[in-house]
Structure formats: C-alpha cells, structure tokens
Amino acid sequence: MNEYLFTSESVSEGHPDKICDQISDAIVDAFLAQDPASRTGIETLCTSNHVVIAGEARGPAGIDAVAIERIARECIRTIGYDIDNFHWQKVGVDVRVHTQSPDIALGVDAGSRKSEGAGDQGLMFGYACDETSEYMPAPIHYAHRILESLAVQRKAGELPGLRPDSKSQVTLRYENGKPVSAKSIVVSTHHEESVTTADLRDMIIPSVEQVLPAGWIRNDTEFLINPTGRFVIGGPESDTGLTGRKIIVDTYGGAAFHGGGAFSGKDPTKVDRSAAYVARYLAKNVVAAGLARKCTIQLAYAIGVPEPVSLYLDMAGTAEIDSAELTRVLTQLVDLTPRGIIRHLGLDRPIYGKTASYGHFGRRAGKDGTFSWERLDLVEQLRETFA
C-alpha cells in the first residue's frame, strides 16, 4: 500500500499498569545498586487504596519488606498520587517477595561455564526504521512524547487540574511509506472535578502542536480530547494495574513484532529484557549505518543455555546487502550470551526506573548508562565492513 493510516497508543506514568511497572523496576534498581549480581522477578498489582508486590529475588538482605514498601510509596509520590483512594502515604502495601527457586538458579548461574544461562526460554524482537531521527515508528514515538510533555507541565504546575492518569493515541497518514500528517489525535486525561472539556482542549492541543512536526496538523486533523466527556475518577481507583501489561506501548506500538515477554521487574539475566534490548541495539545500528531503511531482528533462547538457539534478520526489502553476511558480522560484533549482552550494554546497573514509562526504545542514551541499547557505536564498523 502506497497510502495508508497507522495508529499507536501510549499511556502515561500515572496509568495503573505503568505505576506497577515503575514500582517493579525501582525494586530491580535497588537490588542492582547494592549487588550487580542480584536476581529479580518482581510483579506489582495496584487497585483502589492497595498495592501488592510479589515475586522472587536473590540479593542483599537489607532490601526487605520494609525497604520495598518504602520504594513503592516513593514511586507513587513521584508520579503525583496524593488523592483520595490512592494516596502515597495512605495506600496499603502488601509485600510477598520470596527467595528465587534454587532450580532456576541451577540453570541460570554460570558455574564453570563462560556465561550464565538464559533466565527463561522465549523469543525476542528488536526493530528500527528511518521514520524518525530516533529510528522509531512515528506513531508510537509521538504518542509517547505528547504524554511526556503533559506530565512535565503538570508537575511544574503549568496545567492546573490535571491528574497523573492519561492515554494518547496517534493516527498518521503515510504516503510512499513515509508519515506525512496526523489524521487524528486522541488524548484522555484524568482531571479534577472543576476542569471542563473546553479547559482540557485549551491545555492539551497547544502541547500536541508543539510536539508534532511542523505541517503535520492540517485542517482536517481530528482532536478527540476526553471523548467520553468526563475522567474525574481515574488511576487505580478506576482500573486495576499490573506489571507487564503494556508490552506494545513499551516497544514499537504494533509496528513490529513482539515476542510476548514483559520487561519490567526483571534483572538482565532474563533474556525477555536483555535480548530485546540487544536486538533493538543491533537493528538500530544497521539502519543508522544506512544498510537498510527497516530492520527486524529475532533472537530465541532456551532456559539454562547461554547461546541463542536462533538469530533471524529481515530488512523488508529495503537493503541490497546479503542478510546472511550481515547476520554473521553482527554475531562477531556482539556476544549474544546473557553475560555478553550484559557486559556490552552495561546492564548490571540500576538503570531501569526510567524505562518504565514512555517507552523502552527511542530514548537518549545517558552518561549514567541508561538506555545504553540506544547507542550508535557500531555504525562506523558496519559502514566500513559493507562499504
């Protein structure tokens, strides 16, 4: 199809599922900050006036139920929940985290091997394209940026009456495979009783216009702001949240495949997380090197086995180089065992809290090691190899 519409959605840091992701990843960071070899599989549930944190962990004894409860309350406070039925100081917090199964540890720990085994079986995908300067599909990229902009303004007191829970949905027109304009923008946001729909339009539409590229909003662009007309009861008071329930929001907005495994709450020996990160890293460097306009990479692992059982690469007909040769080169550049991935990307650090809202991909690599999988440090080697 030369002309088509494509839609992606995002949810804010105050969405119930994202509250849970942030709590789970804050706990991961707490363990890794004290011991980079910690193992975590943390799941969080939140509902009206209550949070449940469960899972398994192996790490510093000081991160006990009291510490975990304190981490959860700080996450909720930072997001901005100080409302009736979900207040960071008053919400009940139930911690049910136990020690990791020794049977899992037996298969995952390196022992005499050169690398830890994969923390689980499964398949993971990475993707990149040239639609944006971040090498992300445009609909999910701008859906994230709209909500992130609103959150920054809300926390700065510039949008009085807005509350933390919100969702966005961006539908773009494509011509010849490139996004050219916005067909529709949907934003639903939690708000105080005194705020009207007209007030919300006055606050939100200017923010959207600043985020989208110039010329993308046309006379026929449709804005749907709180289309039900009212969103006073929101957050966990209105909808139960769970860790790992927004995996398409976390990745590519439906523009690429997903292996099915969630990221948040998991330490980097869990290939659901680390292999998805390295697959994105490789795909992004391939596109940034000019070797293809689109690139999909799939990795698959068996629990307890260090090496991937398969690597698949697809450039969607946008490259003239040999995919088998590119696959061989990529496996020479990066060791795709769990230990190799962790070392190459520096994943055994407390870097995960920032990933738990507004997407794990398309973000700027930080000097503190955050979003290391967004680095473009393979580009020159790839260009030289395929010159």
When pLDDT is averaged across residues 108-136 and rounded to a whole number, the result is 85
Backbone angles phi, psi at 176, to 5 degrees: 55, 40
Pair 250, 263: CB distance under 8 Å: yes
Return binding residues for K(+).
43
Cα–Cα dist 342/5, whole Å: 38
274 and 126, same structural domain?
yes
Structure tokens at 221: 């662009």
Q: Which domain holds residue 30?
A: 16-108
268 and 291, same structural domain?
yes
Enter the pTM of the model. 0.96
Cα–Cα dist 80/151, whole Å: 10
Return binding residues.
15, 17, 43, 56, 100, 165-167, 230-231, 239, 245-246, 262, 266, 270
pLDDT at 106: 59
In a domain, 245, yes or no: no
Largest pairwise CA distance in the chain:
65
38 and 7, same structural domain?
no
53 and 188, same structural domain?
no
When pLDDT is averaged across residues 152-170 and rounded to a whole number, the result is 97
pLDDT at 114: 66
pLDDT at 116: 80
In a domain, 243, yes or no: no
pLDDT for 320 beyond 90: no
In a domain, 376, yes or no: yes
In a domain, 89, yes or no: yes
What's the structural domain count of the chain?
3
Tell the residue number behind the tokens 């995919």, with chain if given: 323
Pair 34, 62: CB distance under 8 Å: yes
88 and 189, same structural domain?
no
Q: Identify each DSSP E strand in 292-373 by its residue range.
A: 294-301, 310-314
Q: Please, what is the end-to-end C-alpha distance for the chain in angstroms?
A: 31
In a domain, 74, yes or no: yes
Pair 231, 195: CB distance under 8 Å: no
Tell the residue number behind the tokens 């901005």, with chain if given: 80
348 and 281, same structural domain?
yes
pLDDT at 102: 65
When pLDDT is averaged across residues 99-112 and rounded to a whole number, the result is 65
pLDDT digits (tens, 9 = 90+) for 352-378: 999 999 999 999 999 999 999 999 999
Closest CA to 138 of 263, 291, 256: 256
285 and 360, same structural domain?
yes
Return binding residues for L-methionine.
56, 100, 239, 270
Return binding residues for ATP.
15, 165-167, 230-231, 239, 245-246, 262, 266
145 and 127, same structural domain?
no
User: Sign of the CA dihedral 340, 343, 345, 349?
Assistant: positive
User: Sign of the CA dihedral 185, 128, 180, 152?
Assistant: positive
Pair 24, 356: CB distance under 8 Å: yes
Burial of 221 (0-12, 13-18, 19+ CB in 10 A): middle
The bridge status of strand 50-58 relative to strand 92-99 is parallel
In a domain, 77, yes or no: yes
pLDDT at 115: 73
When pLDDT is averaged across residues 211-236 and rounded to a whole number, the result is 95
Query: Where is the domain boundary, 165, 198, 233?
Result: 233
Q: Identify each DSSP E strand in 211-326 by its residue range.
A: 222-225, 241-242, 294-301, 310-314
In a domain, 27, yes or no: yes
Pair 140, 128: CB distance under 8 Å: no
- How far are the Cα atoms of 41, 273, 346, 351, 372 from residue 367, in angstroms, in the given order? 27, 21, 12, 11, 9
- How far are the Cα atoms of 177, 250, 315 from residue 3, in angstroms, in the given order? 7, 27, 20
Cα–Cα dist 355/124, whole Å: 17
Return binding residues for Mg(2+).
17
285 and 331, same structural domain?
yes
pLDDT for 110 beyond 70: no
The bridge status of strand 86-87 relative to strand 50-58 is unpaired
Pair 127, 296: CB distance under 8 Å: yes
142 and 27, same structural domain?
no
Mean of the per-residue pLDDT values for the chain?
A: 95
In a domain, 329, yes or no: yes
188 and 83, same structural domain?
no
Tell the residue number behind the tokens 């949810």, with chain if given: 11
pLDDT at 107: 62
CATH number at residue 29: 3.30.300.10
147 and 127, same structural domain?
no
pLDDT digits (tens, 9 = 90+) for 26-64: 999 999 999 999 999 999 999 999 999 999 999 999 999
